[in-house]
Structure 1
Amino acid sequence: MSKVAVVTGSGGGLGKGIAERLAKDGFKVVVNDINAEAVNSTVEEIKGRGLDVIGVQGDVSKKEHQFLLVQRAVEAFDRLDVFVNNAGIDVVTPFLDVDEEQLNKAFSINVNGVVFGTQAAAEQFRKQKTKGKVINACSIAGHESYEMLSTYSATKHAVKSFTHSSAKELAPYDIRVNAYCPGVAGTAMWDRIDEEMVKYYDHMKPGDAFREFSGDILLGRPQEPEDVANLVSFLASDDSDYITGQAIVTDGGLVFR
């Protein structure tokens, strides 16, 4: 029987890479994003390879959307096996300029979304009485706290904490909860980080922030979506059944934990 995986924030970037890899691994995949156009585009790409996929537009910060997402997955494929809480946003601001709107938006998506997604998935796993896996998007910013990224770092520290605590509470139900912690990738998110850094540091030119961060990577190159997808593929597989409550760094050698 084919397993079923939901990947939030998979209309593009790392999430799209994860959805594509899980589909290639044999999962029936549910692509989810707040951007309906991105959902449709990714679904068509994956379908074009003859793989089993549907798309569901939704806002992860809304609890009812997360539970509806799981419902749609089960309606389409009869079950759920893996839920990837990938959706997230970046916030690049000096600490003294952090405001209420930024905090509320970042935490509602990056943290609330993970909580609601985990709750929705866990409810379905318990209903099925089957093993289940929740895989959360953390970050190297969940292990370090970076200047100009104080809000983003705080949200990812919260994701790491929820990963630990939910793993402890859900283990009796045969549910594993882990997180993947990417580093510096050439995605739209890093384009935005680079753009914002230039505004606040006079000595920086476009591309400098990305080069500065990626220049310290031991393996000598920025991250590709496939690098993250490889780890998620493992965490979604039976080979990782004895792993839970971990926030695993995949950054080419940048942060050591």
Structure 2
Amino acid sequence: MARVSGRSCIVTGAAQGIGRAIGEALLDEGADVCFADINAAKVTEVALANQNRAQRAGGRVTHAQVDVTKREQVRAMIAHTVEVFGKLDVKFNNAGVNKPMNFLDVTEENWRFITDVNGLGCLIGMQEAAQQFIRQGTPGKIINTASVASRQGFGNVAPYCASKWGVVSLTQSGARDLARHDITVTGFAPGVVATEMWEQVDQDLLAIGAAERPGQAMEEFSAEILKGRVATPADITGTTTFLASKDSDYMTGQIVMIDGGMTLV
């Protein structure tokens, strides 16, 4: 369908899981994509693995190592993308972390680790992408990854919930401020998605005594999903490609829930 043909996109947290799937779906629709991640070896491997996919759809692919909490690294990632593709059109702020701890055990270190990546990293990514759009004198799209945890709190992932509520607020604040530059800011909120991150969360919950057996946490979180199953990354990418395309040009300040009906808001 080539809905994003010719659009230059950056996806952070793209070495695996949802981020990788977002980037690959964009390539399938003709976009130029920079896969970015803090894990240099893994994101390089992902970019190389997608060279043929990009060529088939008429797009291009590159990659960048980035710590999204470091502004200079974010600027360098954007500069690299513009150097390779000539411009930036779409910025996905998808990089995120979680490290479950029972509520009374949450430490300052745990809080800062999670909120720095998920909150501050999102803010810096939004600011630097917007500055690039303004320099270009072109419209732009910023798309943030929230979560079902941005709509309700869970006892053993409190910093994660707080950080994702922050993503919702940043999306709304950015949409209000950047509209005058013809920059839209939207986001999406996945529920339970079968990815490497969820596998790690399952292990962490087991380690802190919040679950008694492997897989229990995912089963319990998934029990209220109206669709009757957990999501795969492919369930998410129809929406993310839409948000990156012209079809969503009149949408801003909104978070789209993609949780199979887990949370009705």
Is the pair's TM-score, using the shorter chain for normalization, greater than 0.5? yes
Quote the residue 1:73 is aligned against: 81
Number of residue pairs the alignment of both structures matches: 257
Corresponding position: 1:9 with 2:13: yes
Alignment partner of 2:157 out of 149, 156, 162 = 149
Alignment partner of 1:44 out of 38, 45, 48 = 48
Q: In the superposition, relative to structure 1, how do residues 68 and 203 fare at CA in structure 2: closer, same or farther (>3 Å)?
A: closer
CA distance in 1, matches of 2:99, 2:62: 30
CA distance in 1, matches of 2:203, 2:45: 26
Give 1:112 shift.
0.9
Provide TM-score, normalisation by structure 2.
0.94
Q: In the superposition, relative to structure 1, how do residues 2 and 99 fare at CA in structure 2: closer, same or farther (>3 Å)?
A: same
CA distance in 2, matches of 1:223, 1:8: 20
Opposite residue 166 of structure 1, the aligned amino acid is: G
Is the Cα contact below 8 Å between 2:122 and 2:167 reproduced in 1?
yes
Quote the residue 1:108 is aligned against: 116
Q: In the superposition, relative to structure 1, how do residues 165 and 48 fare at CA in structure 2: closer, same or farther (>3 Å)?
A: same
The 5 Å alignment of 1:51-200 reads 51-200=59-208
Cα displacement string for residues 65-92 of structure 1 (whole angstroms, at most 9, x for unaligned residues)? 1111111110001100000000000120
CA distance in 1, matches of 2:129, 2:70: 14
Provide TM-score, normalisation by structure 1.
0.97
What residue ranges of structure 2 are gaps of 5+ in the alignment? none
Q: In the superposition, relative to structure 1, how do residues 201 and 69 fare at CA in structure 2: closer, same or farther (>3 Å)?
A: same
Opposite residue 17 of structure 2, the aligned amino acid is: G
Quote the residue 2:36 is aligned against: 32
Cα displacement string for residues 34-86 of structure 1 (whole angstroms, at most 9, x for unaligned residues)? 00111111101210322510011110011111111111110001100000000
Deviates more, 1:98-107 or 1:28-37: 98-107
Quote the residue 1:20 is aligned against: 24
CA distance in 1, matches of 2:110, 2:68: 17
Cα displacement string for residues 143-177 of structure 1 (whole angstroms, at most 9, x for unaligned residues)? 11111010100000011101100100000100000
| Partner SS state of residue 90, structure 1 | coil
Q: In the superposition, relative to structure 1, how do residues 45 and 99 fare at CA in structure 2: closer, same or farther (>3 Å)?
A: same
CA distance in 2, matches of 1:198, 1:103: 20
CA distance in 1, matches of 2:211, 2:128: 46
Give 1:21 shift.
0.4
Identical-residue share of aligned pairs (%): 39
Opposite residue 20 of structure 1, the aligned amino acid is: E
CA distance in 2, matches of 1:202, 1:106: 19
Is the Cα contact below 8 Å between 2:37 and 2:65 reproduced in 1?
yes
Cα displacement string for residues 180-202 of structure 1 (whole angstroms, at most 9, x for unaligned residues)? 10000111111122112223447
Is the Cα contact below 8 Å between 2:44 and 2:63 reproduced in 1?
yes
| Partner SS state of residue 167, structure 1 | helix
| Partner SS state of residue 13, structure 2 | coil
Is the Cα contact below 8 Å between 2:99 and 2:204 reproduced in 1?
no
Corresponding position: 1:205 with 2:209: no
Opposite residue 26 of structure 2, the aligned amino acid is: L
What residue ranges of structure 1 are gaps of 5+ in the alignment? none
